[in-house]
Amino acid sequence: MPLRGVYFAVAAGSFRRYATYRVATAAGVFTNTVFGFILACTFMALWSERPHLGGYDESQALTFSP
């Protein structure tokens, strides 16, 4: 049970950190969303020209996570 206290302490610290910088957290979420859309649109354009690039189809390329 001692790990439970460690997990709680880490979660509480993370919550405090992100609650303190709410605007920065919101800006980060917004920025990552915009760049995600840009990357997805780039992949869609690339895969429309070369449908099976790298052995992936378009849906596999868009949902790939390293």
Distance of CA 43 to the CA centre of its chain: 16
The mean of the pLDDT values for the chain is 88
Task: Kindly report, residue by residue over 21-32, the tens digit of the pLDDT.
Answer: 888 889 999 999
Cα–Cα distance between 2 and 11 in angstroms, integer? 15
Residues of the chain with pLDDT > 90: what percent? 36
- What number of other Cβ atoms are within 10 A of residue 40's Cβ? 13
